[in-house]
Amino acid sequence: MNFASSLSNVKGVGEKTAEQFILAGIHTVNDLVTFLPRKHEDFSDVVKIADISPGKKTIRARCEKIATRPVRRGLRITTATLADDTGKLQAVWFNQPYRATQLKGNDEFFFSGEFEFNYNKYQLSNPSAEKVSDVPVSTDRIVPTYRAIKGLKSQVVRKILTELKPLITMYPETLPANVVGTQKLISYADALMGMHFPKGPDDIQAARDRLGFEELFQLLLASQLNKQANAQLEGWHIPFDQQVVASFVKQLPFDLTAAQRRAAWEIIQDFEREVPMNRLLQGDVGSGKTVVAGLAARQAAHAGFQTAIMAPTEILASQHAETLTKLLEPFGLTVGLLTGSVKGKARVTLYEMIANGTVDVVVGTHALIQQTVHFNKLGFVAIDEQHRFGVKQRQELLKKSEKMPHLLAMTATPIPRSLALTVYGELDVSILNELPKGRKPIETKIWSPNSSAQLYEKIDTEIKAGRQAYVICSLIDDNPDNEIKSVETEYKKLRNSVFKHRTIGLLHGKMKPDEKDAVMQSFASGKVDILVSTTVVEVGVDVPNATAMLIENADRFGLSQLHQLRGRVGRSSHQSYCYLVMSDSSKPSQRLREIEKSNDGFYLAEVDLQLRGPGEIYGRAQHGALNLQIATLADTKLIKRAQDAAKLFVQSGDDLLQYKQLAEQVNTYQRLTTLN
């Protein structure tokens, strides 16, 4: 038997068990021995119920009574009475109804959870449960728990792994010896042993250090290599013309901020190089990214190149087209808008104009990446709100040029440093770290559900002063149709009562593109006083005269999403307000308190990363395969170490292909994070 053997060759693995493993993607011995435990339970310290005190505790008990009841949509609570020979206590689980089946009968279990005061009594919250007879008898009783595989218990996984123990100790090293040595890591085999058969907490720690380092090393090596590959590419040379840039800046109705000037300069320098630009323009909401892209497009057009600007929504694409037309038309440039709603003859004509170069700047949605779109000479690609797009879509767009075009990825979701280093490690970054002059911080406040009347008055005061407002309705449950219902109900309610004397607009994702456009136009031109909308306005929308935003059911939104939404106001020198109305009168969540406290997108992104993890924030599309099992991106120290080691490895000229497993993983990451 070796690591490539199929699992059915292992003693104790019957046909049925092997099939279940295969369903979970575990085919070979290697797959199983590298299948890491989700966590470790420490059963070495079991307390008697009579002696229990608050904190993380383990008891050994039987379940006497268990019942599940629905509390509200999406929440089911299971409560149980657990007993040992010294007493009883109550345990509670959220959304784990299977506990009733698991704990039925008279078996003894180890329960491990937080013993805490909740809902007016002490109870054990969300404890794990391991049948005592399933727990291996070792003196230390630190037991690995594996991700649930349908029909396969952790206990079975542990048993089979025990069978494989001798083989695991011989697992070949996966990292270059040099890296293991200088980083003072334990061997891969020892790390696997430490994860599967820890003798104590120190074993687990050493194993986690080693494996966490390895994950980050792979990721960072991938981005180093991408960066290196990018440097080999030949791009378009777009020469800097000072007069062109100066005349563009001169006609702007405002002065560029120092940060905008710096970013524009960085882009223009990249344009001059042989190597295509690969740059991320990061700036908080309202920091003025669009005009920076406009300036670059102006320079590109002057050198005879077309620009493509891709935006995630039609609303945003048409807004950009309008903004850029204003900025570029004075110089005789033509801006085209390509979205799903440009149809028939108009679309064909636009295709022709793009293909023959009549259109200098094409703004569009996903429609831009279709096969039917051919550019004459695409030199510059800007992707707005880039985190909304997958790698594939960016690559498709970049392919529409003979040589790799210069790429500017723009994002208003500030990327915490740790992610910037890892996932986006190969990008050069420009940061707009200042807002245009005269902007006042948005006043944000949490309100209870019955404060509407008061808030409508505040909104009316704003309108009286010539300003405009948004009212945002959220998803009431997971059904998008209900979101439409809620926004329509709200719209009718406001129109027929408190705001009878005002003009109200309705906007949601299911409306036809030209309807959406018409509403946005009337709002942008000031004809509509209040826009009642779903989150379709979340990103990018720019109506500087809007100064108030009321967000209903604010607790249902994520932190970054709230920050983005709120960024629709505070876009002029007028004081702006954001009212966060809660669904019920419970205590505001940490999310809401953070957003109330801070207007700083970078700070909020860090908090969001802590609260939710990177996968949730940066979208499955892009980083679903960013399969960090051990390392966390919050561990900046480890990231730094891995970064340095990856750089050294690349410089050393050591051949990656010597390290098969490492090479495979690095290759996957390279494809995942590359922009090219």
638 binds ligand ADP (CB under 6 A): no
257 binds ligand ADP (CB under 6 A): yes
Smallest distance from Mg ion to CB 91, Å: 49
Nearer to ligand ADP, 79 or 521 (CB): 521
290 binds ligand ADP (CB under 6 A): yes
Smallest distance from ligand ADP to CB 320, Å: 9
Smallest distance from Mg ion to CB 290, Å: 5
Nearer to Mg ion, 185 or 604 (CB): 604
Q: State CA 132 to chain mean position distance.
A: 40
288 binds ligand ADP (CB under 6 A): yes
544 binds ligand ADP (CB under 6 A): yes
End-to-end CA distance of the chain: 42
Q: Which does 287 bind (CB under 5 to 8 A by kind): Mg ion, ligand ADP, none?
A: ligand ADP
425 binds Mg ion (CB under 5 A): no
Task: State the residue for tokens 């892009």.
Answer: 622
Nearer to ligand ADP, 78 or 386 (CB): 386
Q: Which stretch binds ligand ADP (CB under 6 A): 218-226, 286-294, 361-369, 557-565?
A: 286-294
Smallest distance from ligand ADP to CB 549, Å: 15
The count of chain residues that interact with Mg ion, using the rule CB under 5 A, is 1
Residue among 216, 222, 291, 455 that touches ligand ADP (CB under 6 A): 291
Give the pair of three-digit tokens for residue 530: 């209040």
d(CA 465, CA 462): 5
599 binds ligand ADP (CB under 6 A): no
- CA-nearest of 147, 151, 161, 153 to 30 is 161
Quickly list H helices, 343-479: 344-355, 391-398, 417-421, 452-464
Contact in structure between 410 and 383 (CB atoms under 8 Å): yes
Nearer to Mg ion, 379 or 540 (CB): 540
Contacts with ligand ADP in 358-417 (CB under 6 A)? 412
Nearer to Mg ion, 405 or 540 (CB): 540
Give the pair of three-digit tokens for residue 186: 């334990």
Contact in structure between 285 and 602 (CB atoms under 8 Å): no
Contacts with Mg ion in 489-548 (CB under 5 A)? 540
d(CA 632, CA 56): 22
Nearer to ligand ADP, 83 or 256 (CB): 256
294 binds ligand ADP (CB under 6 A): no
Q: Which does 94 bind (CB under 5 to 8 A by kind): Mg ion, ligand ADP, none?
A: none
Task: State the residue for tokens 């497009």.
Answer: 297
Q: Which helix H or strand E contains 364, and what residues bound it?
A: strand 361-364
d(CA 649, CA 217): 10
Q: Which stretch binds ligand ADP (CB under 6 A): 1-9, 281-289, 512-520, 658-666?
A: 281-289
Residue among 84, 214, 542, 608 that touches ligand ADP (CB under 6 A): 542
b/e map of 173-207 (b: 16 or more CB within 10 Å)? ebbbeebbeebebbbbbbbbbbbbbbeeeebbebb
Nearer to Mg ion, 113 or 540 (CB): 540
414 binds Mg ion (CB under 5 A): no
Nearer to Mg ion, 513 or 540 (CB): 540
Determine phi and psi for 235, rounding to 5 degrees.
Answer: -115, -175
Q: Which one-letter amino acid corresponds to residue 539?
A: V
Burial status of residue 402 (CB atoms within 10 A of its CB: 0-12, 13-18, 19 or more): exposed
d(CA 156, CA 162): 10
Distances 189 to 157, 167, 477 between C-alpha atoms, Å? 18, 9, 47
287 binds ligand ADP (CB under 6 A): yes
d(CA 433, CA 284): 7
Nearer to Mg ion, 194 or 283 (CB): 283
DSSP assignment of 620-664 equals HHHHTT---SS--TT-HHHHHHHHHHHHHHHHHT--GGGSHHHHH
Q: What is the dihedral of CA 572, 576, 582, 585, to 10 degrees?
A: 170
Nearer to ligand ADP, 323 or 395 (CB): 323
Contacts with ligand ADP in 430-489 (CB under 6 A)? 436
Q: Which does 601 bind (CB under 5 to 8 A by kind): ligand ADP, Mg ion, none?
A: none
Supply the DSSP symbol for 140. Answer: S
Q: Which does 352 bind (CB under 5 to 8 A by kind): Mg ion, ligand ADP, none?
A: none
254 binds ligand ADP (CB under 6 A): yes
Nearer to Mg ion, 135 or 335 (CB): 335
Contacts with ligand ADP in 571-590 (CB under 6 A)? 571
Q: Which does 664 bind (CB under 5 to 8 A by kind): ligand ADP, Mg ion, none?
A: none
d(CA 200, CA 190): 14
Nearer to ligand ADP, 566 or 623 (CB): 566
Q: Which stretch binds ligand ADP (CB under 6 A): 118-126, 255-263, 547-555, 639-647?
A: 255-263
Smallest distance from ligand ADP to CB 252, Å: 8
18 binds ligand ADP (CB under 6 A): no
Q: Which does 420 bind (CB under 5 to 8 A by kind): ligand ADP, Mg ion, none?
A: none
Which single residue brings its beta carbon nearest to Mg ion?
A: 540
154 binds ligand ADP (CB under 6 A): no
Task: State the residue for tokens 């009168």.
Answer: 585
Q: Which stretch binds ligand ADP (CB under 6 A): 253-261, 346-354, 580-588, 593-601?
A: 253-261
Contacts with Mg ion in 537-566 (CB under 5 A)? 540
Task: State the residue for tokens 């959406």.
Answer: 516
The count of chain residues that interact with ligand ADP, using the rule CB under 6 A, is 18
Distances 559 to 67, 385, 413, 611 between C-alpha atoms, Å? 35, 17, 11, 9
Q: What is the dihedral of CA 392, 396, 402, 407, to 10 degrees?
A: -70
Contact in structure between 7 and 139 (CB atoms under 8 Å): no
Report the interface residues with Mg ion, using CB under 5 A.
Answer: 540
Binding site for ligand ADP (CB under 6 A): 254-257, 260, 283, 285-291, 412, 436, 542, 544, 571
